[in-house]
Structure 1
Amino acid sequence: MYRWCTNEVEPGDRFDYWREVRARGLFGVTAELDRERRSDFFGEFSLRQFGGAGFVELRASHYTVERTRADIAYAPGDSICVYQQLGGGGRFDAMRTGDFAIANGSFATSHTDQPYRTVPLGAGGFHLRILKIPVSGLPTQDKRVRELAPKVFDDAAIAPLLATCFADLCEAPANDGGPSDAAPLVQALAHLALIERGVVQPGSRRGQAALRVARLSQARRLIVHHLRDPDLAPAMVADLLGISVRHLHMLFETVEKSFSQTVTDERLKQSRRLMREAPERLIADIATACGFESLATYYRVFNAAYGMAPGDFRAQASEAH
């Protein structure tokens, strides 16, 4: 992961450096800020590579960003961008299609080589994530992809799928451009965006694959969220997802571990974490907190997975520290 912050530059030069080197040189945009406000400017970002895609998280003081025709000619991108707005929200002027506001937690999409202007709502500045996916890396070679002007997501059914894929991507390890376990997430996010924009049909092979990846991601996150519940079962998760139990099991058939194996694995990982973080806590309490139906079941499952009893694992963890 590459991180950069304006604290690395002298205060009087921070906005000029951000404008010329970071905004124009790295992102291909024009940044503007009144001169009297530049001395207080702050900006930071992180950049990770997942295959050919770039994933940026950016925070910055209030200023104006524009992607002009001149910027596009100077630094063409030919990529799909999926934006997740965080913080106080922002306003986009999409030039061709008018302006729109994007609230905290909401998503927008565009092709990089469509002009736009954006500014934060309120005085809080920018906070957003941007996934930039080269069109050349997409199996969908539809000319409409390059015509996508910035637009906020209107589909209430797809937005939660985007959110869970973005959350998984935030937790995925970077891979500096090589093969990545995050590649299916990147492809899913691209195709979910194209479903929302009407370029990919949800019932198509690519649409179904994207929906499957996103729903599996949602299912895994629901499992982690409900680990303590001893009634955690396929019917419960399927109901929360709004799908059938059969559909849920079909999602897990595409990966190495079944639903029940995933639940057990997550409960074991949680128990190991709790033993490391709270060495004084009773093992029986940890077993209950992780949703095991009994202490005997916990010992049996733990020993089968790791070849030792929970107490032996805790002793080893203590010695390591």
Structure 2
Amino acid sequence: MVEPCTAWPSTKPYEIYDGIVLSSSTDEPLRSVQYSRRLSMMSSFCVLVSPVRIERANVAGDADERDRLIVSVSGFRGDSVVAQNGRENRYGSGDLAVVSTQAPFVHTTSAIRDAAGLVIPFTALGRFRYLAERPRREMGGRTPLARAAAGFVRRFAIDSAVAGARVSSDAELAVIDLLAAALAELTLDGRYSLQDDRLFNRQAASDLIARRYRDPSFTTDMIAEELHMSRRHVYRLFEDFGSSPAELIAEARVEAGRKMLDENPWMQIGDIATASGFRSLATFRNQFKTRYGVSPLEYRERIAGPVRERC
């Protein structure tokens, strides 16, 4: 677990990063609790903050050190407004807000926000750097890809900054690829031809399954809700994959149960069923036998010998 940084009530603006200044957007003092973590290519953060004004006025200095892409998503209701380059974009709950530090900006909120996101140096974007430099339409949540990217970024930031999950360089590159596709879809000059976004959405759905299948209440409907798309659309993502989302969730649970049978010969099978994400022992039994041809108890006896357990 990463320790949070708490900002005591502040009545004066203060700089948080390279010319970026925070101040209260109301008459009340500014309060915040923040988790942050520096990764190999980027930084992740999660912050709970009172109504705030975030401003960057000074853009002097080395461009390679100065230029960053700030990507954030809030789960709380209420709008925030980003003013930059003569444009104002408004973002609500679940929207992917993207701000470049290459130009001055003002980002204001009128309510408490729970922003989670990433700070990515332009240099880490590689060949996609120009996408961060180009003007773009408001991100919002108006496309399936933008919604999928928002859900992915928020979960990635929470897992890395708050939970302290291990993050590989390949995972960071995957994040950059997904954000590049989302940015390209809304780049105003149309230089980038966006490929089929089904792969990105399916990867986001698969990531959710891998992390949440142990939750007995986790279903395809929850994937749809997390990625801000319909249940039918989620199923369409897997039409050519060979297994439906529901089947993938069941397979992940059965496989987790099998591994626990291998590694914990004295663990009660009912407890294994619960730990694997099944609501009942009967469901675990039935799905296990469908996949492996034997019951969990028969499987255990084959690999470890008879165990005194009623199943």
- TM-score w.r.t. structure 1 length? 0.64
The alignment of Structure 1 onto Structure 2 pairs a total of residues equal to 271
Question: Structure 1: how far apart are the matches of 2:272 and 2:194?
Answer: 44
Secondary structure in 2 aligned to 1:245?
coil
Task: Please say if 1:33 is aligned against 2:20.
Answer: no
Question: Structure 1: how far apart are the matches of 2:270 and 2:174?
Answer: 29
Task: Please say if 1:156 is aligned against 2:135.
Answer: no
TM-superposed deviation, 1:112:
2.2
Question: Structure 2: how far apart are the matches of 1:162 and 1:128?
Answer: 15
Secondary structure in 1 aligned to 2:33?
strand
Secondary structure in 1 aligned to 2:60?
helix
Match of 2:83 among 77, 87, 94: 94
Match of 1:202 among 189, 194, 203: 194
Question: Structure 2: how far apart are the matches of 1:222 and 1:51?
Answer: 26
Which amino acid in 1 is paired with 2:40? G
The answer to whether the Cα contact below 8 Å between 1:42 and 1:60 also exists between their aligned partners in 2 is yes
TM-superposed deviation, 1:64:
1.8
Secondary structure in 1 aligned to 2:126?
coil
Match of 1:212 among 187, 194, 199: 199
| Cross-structure match for 2:280 | 285
Post-superposition CA distance 1:249-290 (Å, at most 9, x none): 59x9xxxxxx978743333437969727979xxx99335169
CA RMSD in angstroms comes to: 4.5
Structure showing the higher helix proportion among its residues? 1
> Per the alignment, do residues 211 and 285 of structure 1 end up closer, same or farther by CA in structure 2, a change over 3 Å counting?
closer
Question: Structure 1: how far apart are the matches of 2:77 and 2:306?
Answer: 45
| Cross-structure match for 2:101 | 112
What is the percent sequence identity of the aligned residues?
12
Secondary structure in 2 aligned to 1:127?
strand
Secondary structure in 2 aligned to 1:128?
strand
TM-superposed deviation, 1:43:
0.6
Secondary structure in 1 aligned to 2:84?
coil
TM-superposed deviation, 1:211:
5.2
The answer to whether the Cα contact below 8 Å between 1:79 and 1:135 also exists between their aligned partners in 2 is yes
Secondary structure in 2 aligned to 1:37?
coil
Which amino acid in 1 is paired with 2:116? R
Question: Structure 1: how far apart are the matches of 2:72 and 2:306?
Answer: 44
| Cross-structure match for 2:5 | 4
| Cross-structure match for 1:183 | 172
The answer to whether the Cα contact below 8 Å between 1:88 and 1:104 also exists between their aligned partners in 2 is yes
| Cross-structure match for 1:231 | none
The answer to whether the Cα contact below 8 Å between 1:91 and 1:119 also exists between their aligned partners in 2 is yes
| Cross-structure match for 1:67 | 56
The answer to whether the Cα contact below 8 Å between 1:82 and 1:109 also exists between their aligned partners in 2 is yes
> Per the alignment, do residues 274 and 26 of structure 1 end up closer, same or farther by CA in structure 2, a change over 3 Å counting?
farther
Question: Structure 2: how far apart are the matches of 1:245 and 1:35?
Answer: 50
Question: Structure 2: how far apart are the matches of 1:265 and 1:301?
Answer: 20
Question: Structure 2: how far apart are the matches of 1:265 and 1:310?
Answer: 26
Post-superposition CA distance 1:212-270 (Å, at most 9, x none): 2441231453683349xxxxxxxxx9963424632x259x9xxxxxx978743333437
The answer to whether the Cα contact below 8 Å between 2:73 and 2:117 also exists between their aligned partners in 1 is yes
Residues 248-267 of structure 1 correspond to what in structure 2 (within 5 A)? Answer: 248-249=241-242, 263-267=250-254
> Per the alignment, do residues 127 and 99 of structure 1 end up closer, same or farther by CA in structure 2, a change over 3 Å counting?
same
> Per the alignment, do residues 242 and 120 of structure 1 end up closer, same or farther by CA in structure 2, a change over 3 Å counting?
same
TM-superposed deviation, 1:84:
0.9
